[in-house]
Amino acid sequence: MNLLLDEIARATARLADAGAASPRADAEELAAAVHRVNRSELHSVPDNAFDALFWEYVARREAGEPLQHITGRAFFRYLELKVGPGVFVPRPETEVMAGWVLETLRDMDVRDPLVVDLGTGSGAIALSVALEAPRARVHAVEKDPTAFVHATRNVEELDERGRVRLHLDDFATALTELNGTVDLVVSNPPYIPMSEWEYVPRDVRDHDPADALWGGGDDGLDAIRRVESAARRLLRPGGHVAVEHSDLQGNGVYWIFAEENGWRDVRNRRDLTNRDRFVTARYGTD
């Protein structure tokens, strides 16, 4: 049997004992990163090419360090993003919201839609829009300087058409020059209430940046309230917004986008596990 596959089996057992949620996938991804191959190519690594760095990576994962911090990469839709300490690691759940954004842009009767991503983090959503809706112009806002460095690197490497403009700013007050002109606003803001601290997985609460996790307020929804206010300022009449939340916050976020503030067609939408994951709405009466 292939030596690397044997070692992956041993690593899987160790990671399972350490409580990793997906020990086999983690072991394979660590091996692929060390040996610079895709996971589907692991069987092709010859025995004499086995790199013992793999076991250093496994030990770091056993200790609770996020997989993506160890490998330095995260996958989101069709992108391979550079990530690391200081930037929120994009999750698969957010891919569903990005998919809704892209479908909505395709349905718009707008030649070059203008999109704003509030709290872009690694740039995952903004870059997905730029890649998959190539006529879209995207402004991505991030206030954390460390996360902004990661976003800048990803944009420089992946935005071949130059469709994404990054802004180091607070999304509550950013881009006033675009007020009333934006076709779609999207955000995956912080939304976890501090009361949930003990229930958040250790590798998340100890390694993801605090400003990307804790939403503020007793309900964790203060950041989403700021997104609602910013979207109302930025959007043109008929423009759309999408904002992510936890699977327990759908009702609370629904009511933040109140009809008296101009919101129409407010809907809770579900992720691939059939749980409430993001709210969408249209601004204005047209």
Instruction: Give yes or no: 88 in active site.
Output: yes
Task: Out of 188, 190, 193, 257, pick the active-site residue.
Answer: 188
**Cross-strand bridge partners of residue 82:** 73
Rounded to whole angstroms, the Cα distance separating 48 from 40 reads 19
CA atoms lying within 13 Å on the CB side of residue 89: 20
The dihedral through the CA atoms of 85, 87, 88, 91 has a sign that is: negative
**DSSP states of 129-181 as a string?**
HHHHSTT-EEEEEE--HHHHHHHHHHHHHH-TT--EEEEES-TTT--GGGTTT
Strand, coil or helix: 98 = helix
Instruction: Give yes or no: 257 in active site.
Output: no
Task: Out of 54, 76, 88, 257, pick the active-site residue.
Answer: 88
Which is it for strands 276-283 and 263-270: parallel, antiparallel or unpaired? antiparallel
Task: Out of 113, 189, 190, 193, pick the active-site residue.
Answer: 189
Rounded to whole angstroms, the Cα distance separating 10 from 215 reads 39
Q: Which residues does the annotation mark as catalytic? A: 88, 188-189
